[in-house]
Amino acid sequence: MKKLFLLLSSIILVSSLSTAENRAKRIMKELLDPKSNKVLVASHRSDWRNHPENSIPAMKSAIDMGVDIIEIDLQMTKDSVLVICHDRTLDRTTSGKGKVSEWTYDSISQLTLKSGHGCRTQIKMPTLREALAVCKDKVVVNIDKGYEYFDKVLEITDEMGVTDQMIIKGNKPLEKVMNKINGRMVYFPIVDYTKKNAQKLADSYLSSGYVPAAFEVVWPEYTPEVQKTLKKIHNTGAKLWVNALWDTHNGGLCDDAAMYGNPAEIYGKLLETGATLVQSDRPQLLLSYLRSIGRHE
C-alpha cells in the first residue's frame, strides 16, 4: 500500500510539474486561436501596485494570481545589457538619476527600485535574462518597449528556449516588420489614434492579406472610424488587444483606476468591443470579474 501511495504521489507530482511547464504554451495556443472567446489578461508592468514595477517580485505575484501575459519594458545599459525598465531615465523608478544608457549594468545593479508610491525598497532592477528565467514556461511575455532591440532580444530568447512564449509590439509599417520579424516571434501592430498615422498603419495591415495574431488599438474617442477599424480587425480573424489602464486609451469606455466600482461597469463596455486581450493595472480585479462571467477559467 505504501509503495502504491508513493507511486501515485510521484505520478501526481510529475503531472503537476508538466502542467506548470506547459502553461505558457497553452496560453499562446489560446492567443493564436481566432475561435477562442476566452479573455486573456495582461498585467501592465507586472503587479506594480503591490511591488516595484517591472521587478521580479511583481512578476512572480502576477504569475501567482493567474495572469496570462506579463508586459515588460526594455532599456539598454551603456555596456549593452538589456534591463527591465519603463523609462529611459532612472529617476522615477530607482535610487539613481540619469539615462539608463549612460550607466553600466554593474553600476545599475547597485541601485534599488522604488515602489509605486515612490518609496525606496531593497529590490534590484532585473535584466531581461533574469525576468525570462522567472517567466519561462509559466506565462506569455509581452515586450512593449523594445522593438529597437529585437535582434538582441531574439538572441537571448532563442538561447533560453522561450521565443515561442514571447510577443513583441510596435508601430512599424508591415514591410519593415516582415523584413525584420519574418515569423521569428509573434508581433502585434499598435494602432494608436493619438498618432497621425494610425489609420494609415491600420489600413496597410488590413488591406495586405497578412493577418497578425492581434492588433493593439488605442483610441481617445470612440469614433465611427475607430469602430469601423475594430470591425475590420474582427473580420480578419485577428484578436483585439485593448488597454483598460486609463479611459484615454479606450475613448472613455473603461477606467481601470475605478477599482471600487462595479466591475461589470468598469470592464463590460470594453468587452463589448470584442476585445479578447485586455491589459490591466488591476489584474486581480479583472481576473475575478472574467471568471465570474465564464470568460476566464
Which amino acids are annotated catalytic? 44, 86
CB atoms within 10 A of CB 244: 29
By DSSP bridging, strand 69-76 and strand 82-84 are antiparallel
Helix 283-292 to helix 56-65 angle (10° resolution) is 10
Buried b (16+ CB within 10 A) or exposed e, 105-144: beebeebebbbbeeeeeebbbbbbeebbebbbebbbbbbb
Q: Which residue has the cell 480587425?
A: 233
Q: How far apart are CA 178 and CA 230, in angstroms?
A: 23
Query: DSSP state, 271?
Result: H
Query: DSSP state, 108?
Result: H
The string of DSSP codes covering 122-179 is SPPPPBHHHHHHHHTTTSEEEEEE-GGGHHHHHHHHHHHT-GGGEEEEE---HHHHHH
Which neighbouring-strand residues pair with 141?
Answer: 70, 166
Q: What is the 3-state secondary structure (H, E, C) of 179-236?
A: HHCCCCCEEEEEEECCCCCHHHHHHHHHCCCCCCCEEEEEECCCCHHHHHHHHHHHHH
Q: Which residues contact 154 (CB under 8 A, 6 or more apart)?
A: 163, 184, 185
